[in-house]
Structure 1
Amino acid sequence: MRSAIHALALGLALLIAPTFHANAQSDDGDMLVMELKSGTVKIELLPDVAPKHVAQIKTLTKQGFYDGVIFHRVIDGFMAQTGDPTGTGMGGSDLPDIPAEFSKENFGRGTVGMARSQNVNSANSQFFICFNDCSFLNGDYTVFGRVVEGMEHVDAITRGEPPRNPDQIISMKLASE
């Protein structure tokens, strides 16, 4: 009896294992790998929460848009903002702005959200990563990802508005590439 149960369990494990492997491969398409001066940051994208924002970030990432872009606004205890090719906080990509996709996701430490102007539907390419709990942003900004590895490298980004010697994204790619 015991050997029959073990055989059944092994058979089920073998049937399920390819499914997990296939899912792991497709999940790489929803993982950003951002290289900073101090190391690698992995950001899990949340297409179920903000599909339009995730699609825009993926498109820009595939174009190499973020490579070399500085962190132009870095507030200690709050967040690090990047994604403006002009480095002024006033620029964006040539793609259209994205309508807000507010959710019940909490802006906690490591949450990645889209920056915007006063117009809630003006998100384009700029994004920020929260250093600490920023739940006061809940429902007012779109969450599209979260840091799952390398938050210590985000913590090491030079502070300032703008920083005197700003850090930059060395490169940003999808894990699947």
Structure 2
Amino acid sequence: MRIQMAAAGAVLMLFSAAPAFARQETPPPPAPPAAEWRTPDAADLLVIDTTRGRILVEMSPEIAPAHVERIRLLAGKGFYDGLAWHRVIDWFMAQTGDPLGTGDGQSWYPDLKAEFTFRRGPGSAFAGVAEPAGAVVGFMGALPVQTQPDALMPGTTDGKVHGWGLYCPGVAGMARDEPNDSANSQFFLMRQAYPSLDKRYTVWGRVISGLSVVRALKASPNPDGIVSEPDRMTRVRVASDLPQAERPAIRVMDTRSPAFRALVDQARQARGADFSPCDIEVPVEETAQAAP
């Protein structure tokens, strides 16, 4: 199971003059700004311990619900414990999840139907950062996405618009064979951006801590990327399945907050026309461990 590289018009409104003694309506107070930091849901936080260190992936069930559920299921059964990072290509990605360690193995569960795209509604926690022609790019949580603009929502049957995850550094994708609906247990984490994968492989989350670990995993010098004497995952669990004292204590900058918008503005100024959501690394901080 390998990643195949490839490439209204204006409305005139007339108002009659109000009496001078008319009571003036008090405007509603402005909405409070988004909190600068948020705590990831423990049920969406995948803790991957490896021979090189710890990787934390925030999963995105709104983007790929079936694939996130499969990862949760396999992690809970200890399926990933001890498996190799069998295919690692520098400046590309690191792949794992094969019990055979060859790229040909998978779990005992049925293959999954592809979730290359998703539907974004008005209630989605989306923060736009740029508007290329006919689209909007931004973040849902820490995940970079591209989507149709909100203005199209009223014209769709479900009140939502089309969107997809972007393969920026740290993004987690599902490996598959040639058929679209053949993902099973193997997944990969991006070491660098690789936009040719967009809408061709299911995105299910993003590394929010440990990208340096992903980039430190032993890579292969061979074109097929198969690694001899590879690094391994020692334990993989969803944080909600861990005892409270063992759960990572972190917080992530909310991508809807003014603080994050300031980071975006800095990157846009620095990058100019070349700006991309892939230029933004969402800040993460360790926090004091909550009491059990």
Please give the TM-score of this superposition, normalised by the length of structure 2.
Answer: 0.52
In the alignment, does 2:115 pair up with 1:101? yes
Number of the residue aligned with 1:41: 55
In the alignment, does 2:201 pair up with 1:137? no
Q: Which runs of 4+ in 1 moved over 4 A?
A: none
Number of the residue aligned with 1:71: 85
Instruction: Give the alignment partner of residue 164 of structure 1, picking from 218, 228, 247.
Output: 228
Number of the residue aligned with 1:10: none
Task: Supply the distance in 1 between the matched residues of 2:115 and 2:52 (Cα, whole angstroms).
Answer: 32
Check conservation: 2:90, 2:219, Cα contact below 8 A: yes
In the alignment, does 2:243 pair up with 1:176? no
Specify which structure has the higher proportion of helix: 1
**Deviations 1:95-115 (CA, angstroms, capped at 9, x unpaired):** 010000012110100000000
Q: Which runs of 5+ in 2 are unaligned?
A: 1-37, 118-163, 242-292
Number of the residue aligned with 1:15: none
Task: Supply the distance in 1 between the matched residues of 2:113 and 2:75 (Cα, whole angstroms).
Answer: 19
Q: Please state how far the C-alpha of 1:38 moved relative to its aligned partner.
A: 2.3
Check conservation: 2:52, 2:231, Cα contact below 8 A: no
1:170 match: secondary structure: strand
Q: Which runs of 5+ in 1 are unaligned?
A: 1-22
1:136 match: secondary structure: helix
Number of the residue aligned with 1:110: 170
Instruction: Give the alignment partner of residue 92 of structure 1, picking from 94, 106, 116.
Output: 106
Q: Please state how far the C-alpha of 1:176 moved relative to its aligned partner.
A: 1.1
2:74 match: secondary structure: helix
Task: Supply the distance in 2 between the matched residues of 1:77 and 1:151 (Cα, whole angstroms).
Answer: 13
Q: Percent identity?
A: 44
Higher relative contact order (CA 8 A, sep 6+): 1
Tell which structure's C-alpha radius of gyration is larger: 2
**Deviations 1:133-170 (CA, angstroms, capped at 9, x unpaired):** 11110010000010000111111100113212101101
In the alignment, does 2:212 pair up with 1:152? yes
Number of the residue aligned with 1:14: none
Please give the TM-score of this superposition, normalised by the length of structure 1.
Answer: 0.85
The amino acid that maps onto 1:170 is T
**Deviations 1:16-40 (CA, angstroms, capped at 9, x unpaired):** xxxxxxx958x10000000012211
Task: Supply the distance in 1 between the matched residues of 2:78 and 2:180 (Cα, whole angstroms).
Answer: 26
Give the root-mean-square deviation of aligned CA atoms: 1.7
